[in-house]
A and B are shown apart, each in its own frame.
Chain A
Amino acid sequence: MFKRNSEPKSINFLEPINKESDMLAGAFSWISTVGKNLLIVVEIVVLIAFFARFFMDERSNNLTDKINAQISVLENDTWKQSSVKYDNLQNLLFDIKNIETGQTLNSSLVSEILSNIPMTLNVQSFSFNGTRVSIALTTPNFKALKDYEDSLKNNSYYSDVRFNINKAGDELEVNVSFLINQESV
């Protein structure tokens, strides 16, 4: 009545290791466990990458469109011209500020030199040229001349002070020359 199981009841531990059925069973087991998990992980990574790229590409494309639109606005002739004009004006204003604050005015220097010449000395000619000053003087007053020479030589703002004195009758003809030190200018 009851059929006996056809499979032999044996516990055989001595079967060959690389038996085909074992390999298949192992492969199936690997595919269904570790392989499955690997596949899931890969799928997750692929999906994340896909959506990330999807959104990032969209954002990148939008930005490219925006940049192109802005460039076309800036390439418009009016804007281009305005841009150049404002650049020029900015440079000009910068230069104006530089010359306004950076340059030394010489009128006060000339005024100081002229006011330092004693009244007893008669100026025959005066020349101021950059940093060199030449003065031709006449005077009968040697002391005044000597004082003037001392004052120039003792002034640290001046250098290379030269006095050339000739006697013409009662008067002394004097050629004075000196340099104005650049640091004081």
Chain B
Amino acid sequence: MIIYGVALLAFCALLGLVVGDTLGLLLGVKANVGGVGFSMILLLVLSDVLTKRGWFKPVSASGVIFWSGMYIPIVVAMAAQQNVVGALKGGPLAFLAGSIGVVFSFALVPVIARIGRGKREGGP
């Protein structure tokens, strides 16, 4: 049944967020640390285990796949509620402070990606 997939997804999402909040609390950080990341790993592991045992059928999976497909519309809705006016009101200081870091970060991506790949393939 579709609800099994939705319920599994909700369980993983909620548990991961609780783990992230707890980690933040332990580290003395006022933020969720890695919550969604833990949720994702949990979903990957649990769905794999349940599928192998034959308890997670394709119909159940469609409950997860539906929400995965809703991701882009949800992101569009998220974009529509950003504080764009506030960002523009910050003026040149906010614009430069936000954008210069983005430029350098983009430039770093291929550099770090190469380091990782070089290590993994081991040698020339």
> A and B bound?
no
Could you list which residues of chain A lie within 8 angstroms of chain B, going by C-beta atoms? none
